[in-house]
Chains A and B, each alone.
Chain A
Amino acid sequence: MHAFADALVGARRQVGQCSRCFHLSAEPLCEICRNEERRNGQLCVVADSRDLLALERTREYRGGYHVLGGLISPMDGIGPELLQIQPLVHRVDQEAMGEVILALPPSVEGDTTSLYLARLLRPFCLVSRIAYGLPVGSELEYADEVTLARALEGRRRME
């Protein structure tokens, strides 16, 4: 019980935010930001650290991250100034990014934030957005209409 309590107190004391990407970190810079190989000119923008961890589990992406700490939502009183948007613009400007990938949820708030960021970042680099669509291994006929409609919208030319 004591060990558990100590762990909680320790976590509370030690875990803070990475000063560059705002991911959870015990050090001033997180593990990903310390890794030079991951400074490859790609930056993936997510709403929170949980989304970052989900993307990391894919082991497919080898670039850096930027955690916004939420989404723009006037109803909840969250404007751009409450999110890590200024530091993002600063990073994109300073670190000579080739591409920023927006990986925000497909909700009204996620899309609003994506559109707002795309406009801000476009002068500096290529801005792209992850695709929304069918889960792999699923049958088309069982997909719900909303997902199917989104997948149709995000269709791609066959090369």
Chain B
Amino acid sequence: MIGANGEGKSNLLEAVELLGSLRSHRSGHDRDMVRHGQSRALVRGWCGDGQGHGLGAPGSSLDQLELELRRQGGRLARRNGKALDRQLDLVGPLRCVGFSALDLELVRGEPSQRRQWLDRVVLQLEPVYAELLARYGRLLRQRSQLLRRGVSQGEQQLQSLLDAFDQQMALIGTRLHRRRRRALVRLQPLAAAWQERLSGGRERLELRYQAGSRLEGEEAEAPWREALLEQLRRQRPQERRLGACQVGPHRDEVAMLLGEEPARRFGSAGQQRTLVLALKLAELELVQQLWGEPPLLLLDDVLAELDPRRQELLLEMVGTGHQCLVSATHLASFSATWQGGDSQVVRISRGELVDSPTNR
């Protein structure tokens, strides 16, 4: 997809991402995805397995997926016109992995960026994780409100309520810690292999899970839960002074080390870009291993940032099995191999495809 900035290329890719993962990398709020002055937005797409089979609709070769967003929140998902009980049921036929220019934040940005990236991977591995994340978020918000507003009946009541929150946060928190750690253990060798390849064998990447709680010994649910419970209790005076809970998965960090040095501080811009690409390729490989089918790739304005050698390596990984949606401002930013084969070029202007697809 070729078009000048602001013509709607990213918008289109974001819509595909929403249908495939129910999330947007750009914003966590539905209100940011609804056009100004409108109350609702609708994303509609059709997908099939490319061999003339829809994945559910009888008599049709394509499934119709719809997601309706509302400014004030609340979503409605439909497949082939039929409303689904849970929006999670929309996910499945269309899996995608997105690359965008924002992703450099993954290395340079705040720890929350890396937690979100890891969470996206865990969500692909275990859909039930979404419920755990939402629950933990709600626990944190309730807890901070409790501390902000206080209680009417004194210290003992406050401590009892905090106990009730601690118990739930230790349980859910331990589950988040375990799942994140497990996902990182699976990603680490894949990411390291890609970093080595992309750097011509010069760079060794290590991903290290730094839990926001002190969790000692081997991974085990009960001891970890006990440890977290104890730490939650002990941090209370500090929590009240600082107004925020001091331990738990919301303080997790993923350390990214290039040859023992933190990539965030010591990596050059080029190294950081390679690192993001390695992380993304690892994510792609893991999703593919897991589902046995290549996910759809969304490359939003990133090819231009890669030198021809890295573009070639990316193409090699993508191979012929992946369907890829790529956006750029100029056709010239693609290396020749990207333009060959069965690629199709379309132009986008003011949110619409302006000329009919040209086969190349």
List chain A residues, Cβ under 8 A from B126: 145
Complex-state Cα separation, A77 to B146, whole angstroms: 8
B86, B157, B163, B168: the one within 8 Å of A108 (CB): B168
Whether the Cβ atoms of B164 and A116 lie closer than 8 Å is: yes
- Once A74-B149, A80-B157 are accepted as A-B contacts, the answer to whether A112 and B128 lie under 8 Å apart by CB is no
Whether the Cβ atoms of B153 and A119 lie closer than 8 Å is: no
Closest-by-CB residue of B relative to A144 is: B86
Q: Say yes or no for B138: interface residue by CB 8 A criterion.
A: yes
Whether the Cβ atoms of B152 and A112 lie closer than 8 Å is: no
Whether the Cβ atoms of B167 and A80 lie closer than 8 Å is: no
B88, B135, B142, B152: the one within 8 Å of A75 (CB): B142
Complex-state Cα separation, A146 to B164, whole angstroms: 22
Q: Say yes or no for B44: interface residue by CB 8 A criterion.
A: no
Whether the Cβ atoms of A80 and B161 lie closer than 8 Å is: yes
For window 111-126 of chain A, which residues contact chain B by CB distance below 8 Å? 111-113, 115-116, 119-120
- Most chain B Cβ neighbours within 10 Å, of A79, A81, A108, A113: A108
Whether the Cβ atoms of B157 and A74 lie closer than 8 Å is: no
Whether the Cβ atoms of A115 and B164 lie closer than 8 Å is: yes
Whether the Cβ atoms of A119 and B131 lie closer than 8 Å is: no
List chain B residues, Cβ under 8 A from A116: 160-161, 163-164
Complex-state Cα separation, A145 to B88, whole angstroms: 11
List chain A residues, Cβ under 8 A from B161: 72, 74, 79-80, 112, 116
For window 99-113 of chain A, which residues contact chain B by CB distance below 8 Å? 108-109, 111-113
A73, A80, A145: the one within 8 Å of B153 (CB): A80
List chain A residues, Cβ under 8 A from B143: 74
How many chain B residues have a CB neighbour from A under 8 Å?
26
**Interface mask (B145-161 → A, CB under 8 Å = 1, otherwise 0):** 11001011100010011
A79, A115, A144: the one within 8 Å of B167 (CB): A115
Q: Say yes or no for A15: interface residue by CB 8 A criterion.
A: no
List chain B residues, Cβ under 8 A from A145: 126-128, 131
List chain B residues, Cβ under 8 A from A120: 160
Q: Say yes or no for B139: interface residue by CB 8 A criterion.
A: yes
Interface of A is mostly: helix
Whether the Cβ atoms of B157 and A149 lie closer than 8 Å is: no
Complex-state Cα separation, A119 to B167, whole angstroms: 12
Whether the Cβ atoms of A119 and B86 lie closer than 8 Å is: no
- Once A75-B145, A119-B163 are accepted as A-B contacts, the answer to whether A81 and B138 lie under 8 Å apart by CB is no
Whether the Cβ atoms of A119 and B160 lie closer than 8 Å is: yes
Complex-state Cα separation, A72 to B131, whole angstroms: 20
Whether the Cβ atoms of B152 and A81 lie closer than 8 Å is: yes
Whether the Cβ atoms of B142 and A146 lie closer than 8 Å is: no
- Once A108-B168, A116-B164 are accepted as A-B contacts, the answer to whether A79 and B152 lie under 8 Å apart by CB is yes
List chain A residues, Cβ under 8 A from B149: 74, 77, 79
Complex-state Cα separation, A81 to B160, whole angstroms: 13
Whether the Cβ atoms of A115 and B168 lie closer than 8 Å is: yes
Q: Say yes or no for B165: interface residue by CB 8 A criterion.
A: yes
B135, B138, B164, B168: the one within 8 Å of A119 (CB): B164
B86, B146, B153: the one within 8 Å of A74 (CB): B146
Q: What are the 3 tightest A-B residue pairs by CB atom distance, in nearest-first order?
A: A145-B128, A115-B164, A74-B145
Given A79-B153, A115-B164, 6 more pairs with CB closer than 8 A: A74-B143, A74-B149, A108-B135, A109-B142, A111-B164, A116-B164
27 contacts between A and B (CB under 8 A): A73-B142, A74-B142, A74-B143, A74-B149, A75-B141, A75-B142, A79-B152, A80-B151, A80-B157, A81-B151, A81-B153, A108-B139, A108-B142, A108-B168, A112-B142, A112-B164, A112-B165, A115-B163, A115-B168, A116-B160, A116-B163, A116-B164, A119-B164, A120-B160, A144-B88, A145-B127, A146-B131
